[in-house]
Structure 1
Amino acid sequence: MQINVNTDNTIKSKHQGLNEYVRSVVEASIERFGEHIRRVDVHLSNENREKRVDGGNYCMMEALVTGYEPVVVHDHAADLHQAIDNAGGKLKRALDSALGRLNDKKMHEPPPVEAESYKNLTSSS
């Protein structure tokens, strides 16, 4: 599984060890879903030009899930690390919900009829 961290020009030179921190949060958030996740893209920016009530630091995480549409979460916070932590928690809950629905759908589908069983059914009629 691949984790890509993307930052805008307001973040790049400011934070040492940011990539490692993001990777640790993402890995902790998706550890139980690991075999279903192909890639996680993380986008970080500081939107100080926009005066936001919930803070100018922005984190977006997009998880590419095998057999399902991408799962995307966003968070704004006054502190960049808090935005990353909050988005990680949202990602965990969103994946739990999405993969739960996917598993429910698979459980409600009838099992495939095997060719030999079908052949026996049609020949005995």
Structure 2
Amino acid sequence: MEIQGKLVIRHAPPSVQQYLALRVQAGLSPMSEEGAAIGLPRSIFAVTLFEDDVLIGMGRVIGDGGCFFQVTDIAVQPSHQGRGLGKIIMREIREFLDTLPDKAYTSLIADGEAARLYAQFGFAPVAPRSQGMAFKR
């Protein structure tokens, strides 16, 4: 746990309720309570930012633990955006990524202007060589 002023940084996933609420508040797609309850404990790495015990930011790394990883759930509460919290989240994630096995492949899906943030931490577009795709039921 790192404390910067009133900001508390934890390397642990949020609760299911906190996760679901922050995703919606930050404009990410809603997830199911069932899915969050299964997925959050399986995070390979998670960072959460709290002010006064209120979750204001989060990010996770998921994957197989050896070869493939994905950065996901980067979210900051709208009332706290513009304060560099996304950079703090990505700094913590990048420090974790630097510990992964050689040649591990880490990907993410960048929505809109978020690509500029991720580029600051070493992420680059893979198109046209590769194209991100998603499956929806």
Q: Which has the larger radius of gyration?
A: 1
* Common topology (TM > 0.5): no
TM-score, normalised on structure 1? Answer: 0.29
TM-score, normalised on structure 2? Answer: 0.27
